[in-house]
Chain A
Amino acid sequence: MEYEVVIGLEIHAELKTATKMFCGCKNEFGAKPNTLVCPVCLGMPGALPVMNMAAVEYAVRAGLAMNCKISSFSKMDRKNYFYPDLPKAYQISQYDLPLCTDGHVEIDVNGKYKRIGIERIHLEEDAGKLIHDAIDHGSLVDYNRCGVPLIEIVSRPDISSPEDARIFLETVKTILEYTGVSDCKMQEGSLRADVNLSVRRPGEPMGTRTEMKNINSLHAVQRAAQAEAKRQAAVIRSGGRVIQETRRWDDARKESFPLRSKEEAMDYRFMPEPDLVPLVIGQEWLEEIRRSIPELALSRVKRYIDDLGIPRYDAHLITQSRFLADMFETAAAACGNPKLVSNWIMTDILRRINEDKDFLAASGLDGQNLGRVMLLLDKGEITPNSAKEILDILAREGGDPDAITEKKGMRVQRDQNLIARAVEEVIAQNPKAAADYRAGKEKSFSFLMGKAMAALKGRADPVQVRELLLRRLKE
């Protein structure tokens, strides 16, 4: 390749605390405009912010999950700019003493592990939302989102391709979901990314970078990076120079447009927030938060591949959600055959999830009963068709897999006499087919096999049936 791409991401994630960052207003998406507001989040004269320590805890959790150093002492700052969605005309953010620094996130690019540095994670409040053209010649503002806690995750420029950028964002998203820090609903804007990108010839120093703001889907990040890398390369190839600027990515048109240049960049006049005391994180609290962090996705992926023999692709799909991964692990332990469980998750369970994304949350299916169904199947106690049927019942109304098996008479028939009787009946009722087989017509065997299985209502061990049928036909 003629040019190397250098990418860094800035990721904004809304924290899913119950209340906002500095007041008691609910942190909720989708309420009627301006119903979740109070003097504090509206920035009214004399109102003062009070730090929601849950927001600090969530940010620390994210930092620990991304291997950051947690500052025992940090502070909040005011970032000043005028815009109608920002009622105080400053955003309470962190400038020179962020909560988390110097971390990293490992990503898996088709089996190749890469480490992406995290420069910092800081805590800040979200702004409101402008609704343009809502009235004649004017815009309206909804302040419900004002003061919702956010973290900004700033990566180092360690990302070397648009695909890696997507995978990195995906990995961070999974980490935030696993740790319960954010629900990462990109379509609702609770996770958004800015792409900083430059290109250079191999071995050359870093080129001039541009920034694309507020991209809100995983694939849009990849597309935006691809397009921008191509655009910058074309500029250089034609003898031009890339200008340092902020650009807006239009995902529908697959193009970006200049927003403002470096010269027009805002001076945010950062100042320590005098209304809040510094944030002090004690060692004890830090350890408590550390203990609350579950095993993360990539660590599970590696374990599934190395210890359980699960294919990489499957391991990634299963670990995409912590709920599903936990379910897999419980089921695999209950059943003892992880590969069988993973195969069923990959086909049956993921199909159900694809049909209804809230399937798992609403269903009576859990790791325990899934594992027991798989155990019955693995021991040959039930057939795959029965397993499917039991899962349907469990999903609908829950229950006990063994009881369902018994109640529905699904246990595989192993009674030699019963199977023999069924085989004899089938041969007796289909003399032509039996004769054809005996005359060397192999195809007739499948027909007879089908009839025998049907006579046993599909609940016999096919191997056993096949053996007996062959024996009788050869007699």
Chain B
Amino acid sequence: MSIQDLTIKEASELLRRRKVSSRELTESALDRIRRENGRINAFITVCDDLALSQADAADKRLAGGDGASPLCGVPMGIKDSICTRGVRTTCASRMLEQFVPPYNATAVESLLASGSVLLGKLNMDEFGMGSSSEFSIFGSVKNPWDTGRVAGGSSGGPAAAVASGLCCFALGSDTGGSIRQPASFCGVVGLKPTHGLISRYGLVAYAPSLDQIGPITSDVTDCALVLDAIAGHDPRDPTSANREGEDYSQGLNRDKLPIRVGLPREYFGPELNKDVKNAVFKAVSMLEEAGSSTGEVSFPSTEHAISAFYLISSAEASTSLGRYDGIRFGYRKTGAKDLEELYQLSRSEGFGREVKRRILFGTHALSAVYRDKLYNKALRIRRMIARDFSEAFESFDVIVAPAYPETAFRMGEKTGNPLKMYLGDIYNVGANLAGLPALVVPCGLDRRGLPIGIQLIGKPFSEKLLLRAGYAIEKRVGRLRPPRAGEESSEGG
């Protein structure tokens, strides 16, 4: 039995009916990783023995009738910025190349408690800084739809792994689109939850006020199933919300979805690729078909969003990454003549170019001389953006946006031009700056046959509504699958 095209739901049903064992699923996944990972480069670390022992434990639970969670026995992958006890967690950086955390992230702990099987750790842009998963010391992640193209970033590994069937589902993290943009590029579902819905304990920080862990899955139902397992208050994360739990996977399929959908004028400007625009509009018409109304909205703060995002995220990164100084853990350059040089050499050699660029930028933004002009101003813009959204939510339930101005771009196309790379995040950073939930669902293919995602942004903690809307689109679009080796073309579309 191959896990290649199984959703969590399908796998779970087979497991419960004892048509397949978790060991079989896991072995098949490990085998597939061995064959395919060379092409995709989604996995940094594969933990065969650990996975098989977890699979055996899951089989015992399933045999004992203790298969309560639909995730029990289902193989998963975890982005390498999320801590896994005893399994190295590198953030795709030389700095943490040898770092083995003595603890699990709370989200990982929840999934393991549900009986999910950890296949390994997934590739990404170093410390989450990038939109293409090319900034990794372990090499670029390749897009399963066209290996000459990027998988998106920074959660390129999770998106590519799910799209190419190397694992049933994955956890990514999203600071400014890092779950949604790769999900869009790889034709899978990705959710950035409301800031605070999922514990950040064990997520290696890039910019804590923006970071959020989220699921990357084959379809909307799976996204809800993973969210069911990982959402909730964690006393170890004071910023995690203490609110009553919801059942995200129940009642996704609605005959009627009478919601008000807002389209921000600023999100459909000339920078937006025509195919993407058409696919998104088509998806919006599917929502109308399901009973929703549509209207236009304006976000005047949009033009400042990218600057504000890069100022705030880089400022937070510059302090959050200060701990990697060669003293306690991580990369240390030997032979330094004094403390100052130890810091300089360890950090210069341990971090890659993009990370260093952002640390320098953020250090500058927080310096006594520039803090008012840069960081504090960015905070004011952040409040404006949040206000734009909350005003829009007086008239609309969901804001629709593209996930990216174009489909997956070519390898190396933007690495030399960071500004160009940054500008692509325009539709994504708003949800992070305002702490809102945002779901990306595949909604079609462009003329080259590359997937396009539509982004649905909601009020705080409106994940359930977003998932229902996403489900309505998915039901009409169908699931997108990349062409497999030996296959002529993709299905669906």
Contacts and interface: CB of A to CB of B under 8 A. Distances in A.
Interface of A: 39, 42-51, 78, 80, 82, 84, 87-90, 141, 267, 269-271, 274-277
Contacts of B236: 48, 50
Given A44-B329, A271-B316, A277-B238, 10 more contacts: A43-B328, A45-B323, A46-B202, A47-B201, A49-B238, A84-B339, A90-B319, A270-B366, A271-B366, A275-B205
Given A44-B329, A45-B96, A269 B318 contact: yes
Contacts of B328: 42-43, 87
A42 B203 CA distance: 16
Most chain B CB atoms below 10 A, which of A51, A88, A141: A88
A35 to B, nearest CB: 16
Interface in B327-365: 327-329, 339, 343, 363
Interface in B201-221: 201-205, 207-209
Contacts of B201: 46-48
Most chain B CB atoms below 10 A, which of A46, A49, A51, A78: A46
B319 A275 contact: no
B148 interface: no
Nearest to A276: B238
Nearest to B342: A84
A89 B322 contact: yes
Contacts, number: 97
Given A88-B322, A89-B322, A267 B101 contact: no
Nearest to A80: B319
Nearest to A268: B368
Contacts of B89: 45-46
B358 to A, nearest CB: 14
A77 to B, nearest CB: 10
Main secondary structure of the interface of B (DSSP, over half): loop
B363 to A, nearest CB: 7
B203 A46 contact: yes
Closest 3 CB pairs of A and B: A89-B322, A274-B209, A269-B366
A407 B19 CA distance: 91
B237 A89 contact: no
Nearest to A85: B327
A87 to B, nearest CB: 6
25 contacts: A39-B102, A39-B103, A43-B323, A44-B101, A45-B83, A45-B205, A46-B203, A46-B204, A46-B205, A48-B201, A49-B238, A50-B238, A82-B325, A84-B327, A84-B339, A87-B328, A88-B323, A89-B319, A90-B319, A269-B318, A269-B366, A269-B367, A271-B319, A275-B238, A277-B239
A281 to B, nearest CB: 16
B235 interface: yes
A277 B240 CA distance: 10
Give the interface residue-count category, chain B. 35 or more
Contacts of A82: 322, 325, 343
Contacts of A49: 238
Contacts of A48: 200-201, 236-238
B121 to A, nearest CB: 13
Most chain B CB atoms below 10 A, which of A50, A89, A270: A89
Interface string B66-94: 00000000000000001100000101000
Contacts of B367: 267, 269
Given A45-B96, A47-B201, A82-B325, A271 B83 contact: no
Most chain B CB atoms below 10 A, which of A43, A45, A48, A88: A45
Contact of A78 (B235, B238, B319, B339): B319
Contact of A274 (B96, B103, B235, B316): B316
B322 A90 contact: yes
Contacts of B267: none
Nearest to B95: A45
A263 to B, nearest CB: 13
Contacts of B101: 39, 44-46
Contact of B325 (A46, A47, A89, A274): A89
Contacts of A88: 322-323
A267 B202 CA distance: 29
B105 interface: yes
Contacts of A277: 238-239
B167 interface: no
A44 B89 CA distance: 12
A275 B322 CA distance: 15
A274 B105 CA distance: 18
